[in-house]
Every structure is written in C-alpha cells, then in structure tokens.
C-alpha cells in the first residue's frame, strides 16, 4: 500500500493530459490496496488462531498433569488413612479381647465367692440344726431325770442296780454308734482333703505356656506386585496352588500379605511353607508350584517326626514304636478349642505322672498313657470310630500294654476303665482342659454358645426365663409355678441336661439350676 501511494502522483502526472484516466487509476489502486489489506488481515487471523490452539493444547496438557498428580496424592492419602484405620481396628480388637479376659476372670472369682458363701451358709444351717437338736435333747433329758428320781424313791437296792446296768448298756451302745459315725465322717473328710491336696499340688507343679488364639495363617509378601504373580494369567497359578495344597488362598486389599484358609492345620502349614519358598524363589508357575508343595510336604513330615521325638525325649519315655512317635508329632498342628493337642498331651502326661506318684503308683506307666491318650486325633479319617477307640487300636497294633490301651480307650469313658491308671488319665485330661487359660474361644463363638444355651432352655414348656451365667458354665431357669410342679421342675432339669449334652458343644461342664418360686403379696391399710 505504501508503494502504491508513492507511485500514485506519478501516474496522475503522466496521465495529466487525459483527465478521464485519473478516476480509473484511483479505483484500481483502491481495489489493489483493499485486496492487499484483506490478505494481510486473513494471514494475521490464521496465525493468531494457530497460536491460540497451541496455547490451549499446552494448557490442556498442564491441566492433565496436575489432575494426575492430585489423583496420585489423593490415592496415597486414602491408602494411608486405610492403613491407619486397620491399625486402629486391630488395636481396639486387642483391647476388646483383653477386657473380655478380665471379665471372665472377674466372673470366675465371683463364682468362687458365691460357692464359698453357699458352703458357709450350709455350715451355719447345720450348726443351727445341731444347736436346736441339743437343746431339745437337754429338755428331754431333764424330764427323764425328774421321772427317774421320782421312780428311784420308790425302788429297792436290787431294782436300782438292775436299772443302772440297763442304762449303762444303753449309754454305751449310743456312744459306740456315735463314735463309729464320727470315725467314718472323719475318714471321709480326710480322704477328701487328701485328694484335694494331691490335685492342688499336681496343678501347682505343672507350668504351661499360655494358649494363643489361632484363627488363620497370614503369609507376608515382599511387594504388592507379588500378588499378581501368585494369581497368574487368568488365575492359573492360584488354581494350581489350591489344587495341590487343598487350601483356599484369599487375596484382598491387605497390604503385602495373603490369607490361607483351611480346616486342616496340616494342609495350611504345608501351604504356608510352600508359598514362602515360592515367593523367595520368584518362579511361580504350575510346574514349580507342584515341586515346592512336594518339598513342603516332605519338610512338614520331617518336622512332625522331630516334634514327636522331642515330646518323647522331654518326658523321658522309652520303647515307643517309630510309627507312634511319628503320628504323635502330627498333633503339633492339631488344636482343640484353640489348645494345641501335642502340648495338651505332654501336660496330661506330666499331671498323670505326678498324680500316680502321690498315690503310690508307677509314674512312668501313667505318663505313657497320658501322652498317648489323644493320639487318635492324628489318625486319618479312613478309620471309623471315636478318636479314643481309634487311638487305642493304633497303639495296640504296635505293641503297647493292655493297661495303656485301656487308659487311652477309656479316657472319655466310652469304655469302662479297667485299672486305676485309666482313672488317672481321665482326671489329668480334665485338669489340663479346664485349667484357667488352657482353652479359649473367640467372642463371637462365646456369644453364640451362650445364646444357644438359653434358647435350649426356653424351648422347654413352662419355662419363663433362662439366664446363662459364670461364662456359660451355669444356666438358671425360672419356670412358671402354675404350670410346672416340683416333680416337673426336677424332670425339666434332667431333660434340659440331656438336650445340652446332645445338641451343644462346650468345654468342661454346665450346672443347671431350675427355680420354681411362688409369691403372695398383700397390703394392709
């Protein structure tokens, strides 16, 4: 445009003689200038649009980066809060277990105080009855003395001598009967005190480690990436592992750990050992899984044999067959109410040995029977029958004496005890099972057992209320006096005992108290 403006006067000068050309030149120049301006404007707008698009794209990328950073930061905060929540939950669960143990301890102490108060009340009642009886006897004696004095005044010497002789004979007979009764009662009391002293001494001499709750098996992992390798493509690794071990592998959001679930503790231990070895090796695929599971089974077999040998060596028992020792070691991975069966067997052996020593029997024979009494729990399910019967047949096959075989078969009184050693094993087994801290159960199982106990009582006709007390070791049942008679209350207690024994799983024993009470209230105005 500037160049056109410079040359425009020259054009006008050159065509000055032709005045009609001047407007034409101006129009042409204006058109050319317009075209040039329009082209420059369009170019400028296109450049501006391109720059704006570039700026928008840069801003979009920066926004995406910032959003990704915020997302990662939020996820990290969520993971941290989740871990903190899990820790808080674990802490509160531990506190709840501790409080439950304290409550159980208080309940046991209250039960002991209640029992002592009942004993003291019974003793006071007996003493009051004896005082009333003595008072009545004195009154009767006073009356008889007056009558005798009245009769003596009318008797001669021979009659008096004859009457005295008869009276002395009667008095001696009464004294002899009283002396005999006192001697028998004293002997029975001494036997009870002696038995109590022996039991207390044996329980005080045994020192066992406290029991630990066992609910599942956790396997730690080095990283979260290992979970994907355990699962494998389309889940083939985890399927192969579950098929080889017979356990269920649970993989959840818990950081760096997996859960192994199975009712068989032996399978669970084999799975734990195999998974630990696979994680350390790093090669996880179906072929290596089968290889490591086989190695783990061999390792567990060796561990069980060593555990059996250690138990036998600890008790200093000789002459046990190798198969019995091997099967005994399998009890290391068995639990009864969360009490380790091998530890329970060793403890029972110690208690039986101490009790045998106190009563003058062979402690080694009692120790042998106590150690083997639960060996049937390690026998496979191919053998039919209770664990006491199966265990007795197994040790009989490998040359154990009839005394030990009968003690094992009779320790749950399914078979009649033939020797005193069977009674010692029954007693030692009971002490080891019911001592404080021997067996434990989760809070949920404990609550369900109490609820089931009360429901069994409420199902009976005539029952109004039922209360499970003393940590489920006693149930008190209140019946309607209009519906249930005294004899019916006695029969109801027996019926409830039969239902509890048939339908409920419980440690130790349960005391049943049926209360039938009728009250009459009047108000005088």
Residue 382 lies in a domain: yes
Range list of H helices, 330-436: 341-359, 363-372, 387-397, 402-409, 420-434
Distance in angstroms (rounded) separating the CA atoms of residues 58 and 51: 11
Per-residue model confidence as pLDDT tens digits over 132-173: 888 888 778 767 766 765 565 566 667 767 777 777 676 666
Residues 401 and 505 in one domain: no
Residue 107 lies in a domain: no
Distance in angstroms (rounded) separating the CA atoms of residues 245 and 298: 13
| CATH code for the domain in which residue 251 is found | 3.30.1370.10
Specify the pTM.
0.48
Whole-number mean pLDDT of the chain?
79
**Strands 511-516 and 474-479, how do they pair?**
parallel
Find the angle CA(377)-CA(382)-CA(383) to the nearest 5 degrees: 60
Residue 79 lies in a domain: no
The DSSP output letter for 377 is G
Helix (H) or strand (E) holding 211: none
Residue 243 lies in a domain: yes
Asked if residue 377 lies in contact with residue 265, where contact means CB atoms within 8 angstroms, the answer is no
Question: Residue 474 belongs to what domain range?
Answer: 443-516
* Length of the chain as a residue count: 525
Whole-number pLDDT of residue 111: 84
Residue 387 pLDDT > 70: yes
The DSSP output letter for 373 is T
Residues 323 and 243 in one domain: no
The DSSP output letter for 19 is T
Asked if residue 217 lies in contact with residue 248, where contact means CB atoms within 8 angstroms, the answer is no
Sorted by sequence, the CB contacts under 8 Å of residue 357 that are 6+ apart come out as 363
Sorted by sequence, the CB contacts under 8 Å of residue 375 that are 6+ apart come out as 324, 327, 328, 331, 345, 391, 394, 395, 408
Per-residue model confidence as pLDDT tens digits over 60-97: 888 888 888 888 888 888 988 888 888 888 888 888 88
Nearest-CA neighbor of 320 among 369, 363, 361? 369
The model's confidence at residue 476, banded by pLDDT at 50, 70 and 90, is very high
Residues 412 and 506 in one domain: no
| CATH code for the domain in which residue 481 is found | 3.30.70.1350
- The count of domains in the chain is 3
Distance in angstroms (rounded) separating the CA atoms of residues 137 and 143: 10
**Strands 217-220 and 257-261, how do they pair?**
antiparallel
Distances (CA, A) of 311 to 157, 396, 398, 495: 85, 20, 19, 43
Tell me the mean pLDDT in the region 298-302. 84
Per-residue model confidence as pLDDT tens digits over 404-461: 889 888 888 888 888 888 888 888 888 877 665 555 555 667 788 888 888 888 998 8
Q: What is the dihedral of CA 342, 343, 347, 353, to 10 degrees?
A: 40
Residue 468 lies in a domain: yes
Nearest-CA neighbor of 286 among 236, 219, 321? 236
């Amino acid at each position: 445009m500037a160049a056109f403006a410079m040359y425009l006067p020259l054009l006008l000068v050159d065509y000055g003689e032709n005045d009609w050309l001047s407007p034409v030149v101006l129009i042409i120049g204006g058109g050319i200038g317009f075209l040039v301006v329009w082209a420059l404007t369009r170019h400028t707008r296109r450049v501006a649009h391109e720059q704006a698009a570039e700026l928008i794209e840069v801003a979009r990328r920066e926004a995406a980066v910032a959003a990704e950073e915020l997302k990662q930061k939020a996820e990290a905060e969520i993971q941290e809060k989740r871990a903190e929540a899990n820790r808080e939950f674990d802490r509160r669960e531990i506190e709840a277990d501790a409080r439950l143990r304290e409550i159980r301890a208080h309940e046991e102490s209250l039960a002991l105080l209640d029992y002592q108060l009942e004993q003291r009340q019974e003793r006071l009642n007996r003493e009051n009855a004896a005082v009333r009886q003595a008072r009545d006897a004195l009154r009767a004696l006073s009356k008889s003395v007056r009558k005798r004095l009245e009769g003596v005044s009318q008797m001669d010497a021979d009659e008096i001598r004859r009457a005295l002789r008869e009276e002395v004979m009667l008095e001696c007979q009464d004294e002899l009967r009283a002396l005999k009764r006192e001697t028998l009662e004293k002997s029975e009391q001494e036997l009870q005190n002696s038995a109590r002293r022996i039991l207390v001494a044996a329980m005080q001499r045994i020192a066992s480690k406290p029991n630990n709750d066992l609910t599942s098996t956790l396997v730690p992992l080095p990283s979260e990436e290992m979970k994907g390798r355990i699962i494998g493509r389309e889940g083939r690794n985890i399927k192969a592992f579950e098929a080889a071990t017979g356990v269920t592998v649970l993989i959840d959001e818990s950081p760096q750990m997996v859960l192994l679930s199975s009712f068989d503790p032996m399978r669970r231990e084999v799975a734990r050992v195999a998974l630990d070895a696979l994680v350390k090796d790093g090669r996880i695929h179906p072929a290596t899984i089968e290889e490591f599971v086989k190695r783990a089974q061999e390792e567990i077999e060796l561990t069980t044999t060593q555990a059996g040998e250690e138990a036998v060596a600890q008790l200093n028992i000789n002459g046990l067959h190798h198969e019995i020792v091997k099967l005994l070691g399998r009890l290391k991975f068995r639990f009864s109410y969360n009490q380790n069966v091998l530890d329970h067997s060793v403890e029972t052996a110690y208690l039986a040995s101490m009790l045998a020593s106190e009563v003058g029997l062979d402690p080694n024979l009692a120790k042998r029977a106590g150690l083997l009494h639960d060996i049937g729990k390690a026998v496979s399910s191919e053998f039919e029958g209770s664990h006491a019967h199966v265990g007795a047949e197994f040790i009989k096959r490998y040359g154990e004496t009839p005394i030990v075989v009968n003690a094992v078969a009779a320790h749950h009184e399914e078979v009649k005890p033939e020797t005193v050693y069977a009674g010692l094993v029954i007693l030692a087994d009971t002490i080891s099972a019911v001592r404080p801290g021997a067996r434990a159960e989760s809070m949920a199982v404990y609550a369900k057992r109490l609820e089931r106990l009360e429901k069994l009582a409420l199902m009976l006709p005539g029952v109004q209320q039922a209360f499970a007390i003393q940590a489920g070791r006693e149930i008190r049942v209140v019946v309607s006096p209009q519906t249930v008679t005294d004899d019916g209350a006695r029969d109801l207690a027996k019926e409830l005992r039969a239902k509890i024994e048939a339908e409920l799983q419980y440690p130790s024993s349960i005391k049943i108290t049926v209360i039938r009470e009728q009250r009459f209230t009047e108000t005088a105005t």
